[in-house]
């Protein structure tokens, strides 16, 4: 009788343990990716502490990670170090994996492209600060474009970080040669769209590399760009200033049948989601810009479907892999830890139909 009692006790304990396991949160099937841009090294950047509270698997710096704006490399290095010494940055670094690309201010000069004469030295400083491994392929080519692949069960996440500075042609000044839209009258337009098809934003080597990346098998592809991809032309920096390059990107996605492309972008000091309708599937551009910087207005954008959020903030993507049709939740959280918007798509919504 005593043995039977013990057997019954152990059986009940086993049932209890299994029952508890069934009700545990299944964190192995969710991925959280936080991201942002435009943070000054002269600011305390408490937003990083808010990011850590959300426990992301990755944090992606999308550019203007410092405000270098210099041609003196010791100054650039010192500004990175000022960022690295901040307790909030150390907290971020200790609690999540950091990935990064750059935009103009950390590249070295406002609105600069391939004409910036210290791009090689700036790259070396960037690599040192973000502790790029010695064996990294990033160190074998000009520029800092790179990709990462992660497996989640039967699903694959690809993170592609573009370099929109090292190879980009000079921006074309706006000279009133384009028909004005009344929505844009309240501010000065600085740059016009290129009409020449031989001008470039990414450069041929990066385009060839990108094609290879898009041909790799992946279910969801997050493409990081310091410059906004999905907005309409507004007179400031954007892919819309290189419309043939923007179209080349869309054509390449269609040609390679690359499923699950979402752009993550920065630069403008506010957050928004833009949607580009195409003849394959909609392309979403989730902008998060304002880790410490702010702006006093948002430019007109007929493609905007969420935002603008003008307060300091970070972007957060949550991918729920365990569902048959994974959900991608896009959120912006502000410095007060308020969720400012939420937008969800299913993976099937941004995939080619077989």
Does the residue 279 lie in any domain? yes
Residue 151 has a CB neighbour count (10 Å cut-off) of 8
Residue 74 lies in a domain: yes
Helix (H, G, I), strand (E, B) or coil at 100: strand
Both tokens of 47, joined, read 């937003």
Specify if 116 maps to a domain.
yes
Query: Can you give the length of the chain in residues?
Result: 354
> In terms of residue numbers, what domain contains 47?
26-350
Token pair of 2 as six digits: 């005593």
- Classify residue 3: in a domain, yes or no: no
The pairs formed by 44-47 with CB atoms below 8 angstroms and a separation of 24 or more are 44/86, 44/88, 45/83, 45/86, 45/88, 45/89, 45/291, 45/292, 46/88, 46/335, 47/88, 47/291, 47/292, 47/312, 47/313, 47/314, 47/335
> What's this model's pTM, rounded to 2 decimal places?
0.92
Total number of domains constituting the chain: 1
Distance CA 285, CA 226 (A): 12
Question: Can you give the C-alpha Rg of the chain in angstroms?
Answer: 22
Dist CA 67 CA 60 (whole Å): 17
Whole-angstrom distance, CA of residue 209 vs CA of residue 63: 21
With contact defined as beta carbons under 8 Å apart, do 315 and 285 qualify? no
In a domain, 21, yes or no: no
Half-sphere exposure of 236 (CA within 13 A, CB side): 17
**In this structure, is residue 130 part of a structural domain?**
yes
Along the 354 residues of the chain, how does pLDDT read in single tens digits? 444 444 443 444 443 334 333 333 344 589 999 999 999 999 999 999 999 999 999 999 999 999 999 999 999 999 999 999 999 999 999 999 999 999 999 999 999 999 999 999 999 999 999 999 999 999 999 999 999 999 999 999 999 999 999 999 999 999 888 877 889 999 999 999 999 888 999 999 999 999 999 999 999 999 999 999 999 999 999 999 999 999 999 999 999 999 999 999 999 999 999 999 999 999 999 999 999 999 999 999 999 999 999 999 999 999 999 899 999 999 999 999 999 999 999 999 999 987
In this structure, is residue 201 part of a structural domain?
yes
**Structural domain includes residue 90:** yes
Peptide bond into 344 cis (omega under 30): no
43, two tokens: 């600011």
| Spatial distance between the Cα atoms of 165 and 162, rounded to a whole number of angstroms | 9
Q: Which two tokens stand for residue 245?
A: 């390059």
CB contact set of 78 (below 8 Å; sequence gap of 6+): none
Instruction: Check which CATH number belongs to the domain holding 190 and give it.
Output: 3.60.21.70
């Amino acid at each position: 009788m005593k043995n039977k009692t013990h057997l019954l006790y152990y059986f009940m304990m086993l049932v209890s343990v299994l029952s508890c396991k069934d009700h545990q949160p299944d964190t192995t099937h969710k991925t959280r990716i936080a991201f942002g841009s435009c943070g000054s090294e002269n600011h305390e950047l408490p937003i990083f502490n808010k990011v850590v509270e959300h426990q992301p698997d990755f944090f992606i710096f999308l550019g203007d990670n410092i405000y270098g704006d210099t041609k003196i490399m010791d100054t650039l290095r010192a500004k990175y170090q000022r960022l690295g010494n901040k307790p909030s940055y150390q907290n971020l670094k200790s609690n999540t994996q950091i990935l990064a690309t750059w935009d103009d201010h950390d590249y070295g000069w406002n609105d600069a492209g391939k004409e910036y004469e210290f791009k090689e030295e700036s790259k070396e400083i960037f690599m040192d600060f973000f502790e790029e491994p010695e064996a990294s392929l990033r160190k074998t080519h000009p520029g800092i474009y790179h990709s990462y692949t992660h497996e989640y069960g039967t699903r694959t996440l690809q993170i592609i970080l573009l370099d929109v500075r090292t190879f980009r042609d000079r921006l074309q000044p706006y000279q009133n040669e384009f028909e004005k839209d009344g929505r844009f009258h309240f501010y000065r337009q600085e740059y016009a769209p290129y009409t020449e098809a031989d001008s470039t934003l990414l450069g041929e080597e990066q385009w060839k590399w990108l094609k290879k990346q898009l041909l790799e098998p992946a279910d969801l592809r997050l493409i990081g760009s310091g410059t906004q991809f999905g907005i309409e032309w507004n007179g400031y920096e954007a892919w819309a200033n290189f419309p043939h390059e923007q179209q080349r990107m869309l054509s390449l996605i269609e040609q390679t049948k690359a499923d699950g492309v979402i752009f993550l972008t920065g630069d403008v000091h506010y957050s928004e989601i833009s949607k580009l309708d195409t003849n394959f599937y909609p392309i979403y551009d989730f902008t998060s810009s304002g880790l410490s910087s702010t702006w006093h207005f948002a430019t007109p954008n007929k493609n905007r479907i969420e935002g603008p959020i003008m307060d300091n903030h970070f972007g957060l993507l949550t991918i729920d892999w365990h569902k048959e049709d994974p959900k991608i939740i896009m959120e912006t959280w502000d410095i007060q830890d308020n969720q400012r918007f939420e937008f969800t798509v299913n993976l099937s919504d941004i995939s080619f139909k077989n």
